[in-house]
Chain A
Amino acid sequence: MQTLDPAAMAHISEVSVSVELQTSDMTLNIGPQHPSTHGVLRLVAKVDGERVRSVEPVIGYMHRGYEKLAEVRTYPQITALVNRIDWVSGFANEIPFIVAAERLMGLEVPERAQYIRLILTEMARISSHLIFMSSYPLEIGAATPLMHALRERERVLDLLESVTGGRFHPNFNRLGGVKPAAGAGAQTKKVVQDLPQGFLQDTKAAMVKMFEICDDLEGLVTGNEIFQARTVGIGVMPADRAAAFGVSGPNLRASGPDFDLRKHTDYLPYDKFEFEIPIGRNGDCFDRYQVRLEEIRQSASIINQAIDTIPSGPLQAKVPKIIKVPAGEIYVRAENPKGEMGYHLISDGGRVPYRLKIRSASFSNLSVLPWLLEDQLVPDLIAILGSLDFVLGDVDR
């Protein structure tokens, strides 16, 4: 019988241990054309099988140069530009800019106009969050909530259209107030154009539906075990990390801080209404979803309160025919559906801004991606990406 040399055996086992499977990372280009990147975001992902080693977001495919364009447009023209930044909540984009210009001019905006702005801003918030409610389950793989959420969003858009004439791009704010409403009838010297007939009642009826769709979504999506398995504990973002990256809005509040500019600043009369700031505990995808769902309810409640207490009066302050903004510098920020949006406006006293720096929420929210997506699985990458709720127009401007 052949004898085996122990030394040779040791050698064999050593060899078999030291041979490892040689694998190399694969570069996977996700986007700019991809169903889940919400437009033209490109993620250059290094993947090892299904494990994502690193992610590098590439942005700029949608750059339209609004900051530069604003330097050659008069102030009334700029509102038409800025509501194309975050196009799913166009109305909310106009507010901080128009407030910045009004403050430099020292205009007193009539209270009724402020209330109308507030109602329409909250409607824009609802429509933006309903887009999230439809697209996020779709990214997790459920197709049906999309139809339910979009159907309800249509009510909000119809109402917005009845006042402003536009579903996505209202261009409704004027320096010193709001534009006379679209469906208000002929303008004479005596009859003041106002909200369309029956708008306030229709809005109240629509808000009932908003509470209903929130309950529906809770039954259809929130409680679903598969949805929870896919989102709870995924993409956890601690509060200090979120703050360090400049994350704001629902994404920040899902991590714990109750930071909401509606409570901290006075760009619109939010201090007259009672509402809560929903916050999350863990900062995972599920919390980011739930915070937004709760914000729809809070916004609907704010709209209901505003309709009950809306004062009558003029819609416009007195403004000169040729609008010139006095020289000065101001930064106004507002709580947009996606997070903090701010305009740094510098005027040299002319008809056009000297410089308009736009701080958009989605840009800062996306900056956390490389940190957040490291060592995640490919399916989780999509779940985390969707939970940040960004719009490419808001990233690239």
Chain B
Amino acid sequence: MIVVLAIGFWAGLALKIGIMAAIVPVVALPIIFAELKLSAHMQHRIGPYFAGGRYGWAQPLADGLKFFQKEDLVPDAADKMVYKLAPYLVLGAAMAVFVVIPFGPDLIGRDLDLGVFYALAISSISTIGVLIAGWSSGNKYSLIGGLRAAAQLIAYELPLFLAVVGVVIQAQTMSMIGIIDAQAEYQLFGLEIAGNAIAIPYVFPQFIGFVIFYIAALAELSRTPFDMPIAESELVMGYLTEYSGFRFAVFFIGEYIGIFTMSAIMATLWLGGYDPLFFDLSGLNDIAANAIGALVLFGKVAILVFLMIWMRWTFPRFREDQLQDLAWRILIPLGLANIAVTAFFKVVF
């Protein structure tokens, strides 16, 4: 009996992992497409146009297929096993965050008590993937890129956590669902629309924390203006220089899944997650509530992703020492002050 249960457990787990692995990369495709199309329009270009019939919607798929056809190069000087492992570590870490992202009241992998902590901890693992990718490539540009990435990601882990602490203090929980519920109940001045009380998302009381987290998230994701680990004009492609074909595609998809998960975490912690805020989901039946919840979350994620793309195609790149300066001398003290002020108000009121 126990054996059967155990097999059932492992089979179920394998099935779940299989489904996740198949579905999760799909969320990267719209973001890749948005990046192609938005960057094109910001630069007075049309962007992808013919792929898929209209609007070039199939361009990300076509790019993906192209990567599959390419030769899978492993440099002679590379540490082969580590080199081959690195992309999956990055992709795996990005995908593992999905466990705690709530898409609806019931659409959540597992509502952990330490949900926020888990999300940030597991996403840090991708740092190791980037570092070993740079180290094992046997290329000097990759080495510099990998070391830059390590220094940058370690420096920005701190403001990331400090920004979250403010929210956790205010919500008095680390569970993702708990934080959303706390925001749904959080009201100021008794604002109403048609009898429904309007909830105030934490982006207003925790605005400083939100800004810190957003900047730190950009650095964690190596997005412009913090894209020094890749820095095309300096390091060719940084830690990605030697990767080609399928392995590069895995890195690429991992990067865009990272953008989605970071935006989803931000949307959950500061923008009320799946909760529409101006009416109550609990009055609806389960299917409707979950469907609307997922749509609301995707809408909020879309806004945050748009901001990231906008910044990428507008800003130049910082220098490595300026980035460290920003983290240690501005963001971390600001994050600590934010915690102190939040705690003060929590205790006094």
On A, residues with C-beta under 8 Å from B are 26, 28, 34-36, 49-50, 137-144, 146-148, 151, 220-221, 224, 226-227, 229-230, 377-382, 386
Contact = CB atoms under 8 A, between A and B. Distances in A.
Contacts of A224: 315-316
Contact of A144 (B140, B144, B231, B313): B313
Interface stretch (B51-59, B89-97, B318-326): B318-326
Contact of A141 (B141, B144, B147, B233): B233
Given A34-B236, A378-B234, A141 B42 contact: no
Nearest to B317: A141
Report which residue of A139, A379, A381 has the largest number of chain B beta carbons within 10 angstroms of its beta carbon: A379
B127 interface: no
Given A141-B227, A379-B231, A50 B320 contact: yes
Report which residue of A142, A143, A377 has the largest number of chain B beta carbons within 10 angstroms of its beta carbon: A143
Contacts of A230: 316-319
Nearest to A143: B313
Given A138-B233, A140-B317, A382-B233, 9 more contacts: A28-B140, A35-B232, A49-B147, A140-B233, A140-B316, A141-B233, A142-B315, A143-B313, A379-B231
B228 interface: yes
A200 B313 CA distance: 36
B44 A227 contact: no
Nearest to B140: A28
8 contacts: A50-B144, A141-B225, A143-B43, A146-B43, A147-B43, A147-B45, A221-B316, A379-B317
Given A28-B140, A148-B43, A35 B233 contact: yes
B314 interface: yes
Contacts of A377: 319-321
Contacts of B235: 378
A176 B148 CA distance: 59
Contacts of B141: 28
Contacts of B42: 144
Contact of B319 (A35, A36, A220, A379): A379
Interface in B298-349: 313-322
B140 A26 contact: yes
A142 B320 contact: no
B183 interface: no
Interface in B104-140: 140
A147 to B, nearest CB: 4
> Secondary structure of the A side of the interface?
helix
Nearest to A50: B320
Nearest to B141: A28
Report which residue of B43, B227, B233 has the largest number of chain A beta carbons within 10 angstroms of its beta carbon: B233
B322 A147 contact: no
A220 B96 CA distance: 39
B224 interface: yes
Contacts of B314: 142, 144, 220
A228 B322 CA distance: 12
Nearest to B312: A143
Contacts of B228: 379
B316 A382 contact: no
B44 A151 contact: yes
Contacts of A151: 44
B27 to A, nearest CB: 25
B224 A141 contact: yes
B132 to A, nearest CB: 19
B317 A226 contact: yes
A153 B148 CA distance: 36
B8 to A, nearest CB: 52
Contacts of B44: 147-148, 151
Contacts of A379: 228, 231, 234, 317, 319-320
Contact of B233 (A36, A49, A220): A36
A45 to B, nearest CB: 10
Contact of A139 (B45, B233, B318, B319): B233
Nearest to B237: A35
A170 B225 CA distance: 40
A229 B319 contact: yes
Contacts of B148: 50
Interface in B229-245: 231-236
A378 B236 CA distance: 12
Contacts of A34: 236
A386 B233 CA distance: 10
A378 B140 CA distance: 13
B39 to A, nearest CB: 8
A134 B231 CA distance: 17
A229 B322 CA distance: 8
Contacts of A49: 147
Contacts of B232: 35
A284 to B, nearest CB: 14
B312 to A, nearest CB: 8
Contact of A35 (B39, B236, B315, B317): B236
A229 B318 contact: yes
Contacts of B224: 141
Contacts of B315: 141-142, 224, 226
A137 B144 CA distance: 22
Contacts of A50: 144, 148, 320
A389 B228 CA distance: 23
B221 to A, nearest CB: 15
A226 B233 contact: no
Q: Which 9 pairs show the lowest CB-CB distances between chains A and B? A: A141-B317, A147-B43, A142-B316, A140-B316, A141-B316, A139-B233, A36-B233, A379-B319, A226-B316
A327 B322 CA distance: 61
A229 B235 CA distance: 20
Nearest to A226: B316
B320 A227 contact: no
B182 to A, nearest CB: 36
B317 A378 contact: no
Interface string B21-43: 00000000000000000010011
B329 to A, nearest CB: 14
Nearest to A139: B233
Nearest to B230: A141
B230 to A, nearest CB: 10
A140 B228 CA distance: 11
Contact of B225 (A137, A148, A226): A226
B234 A382 contact: yes
B140 A36 contact: no
A151 B44 CA distance: 9
B26 to A, nearest CB: 27
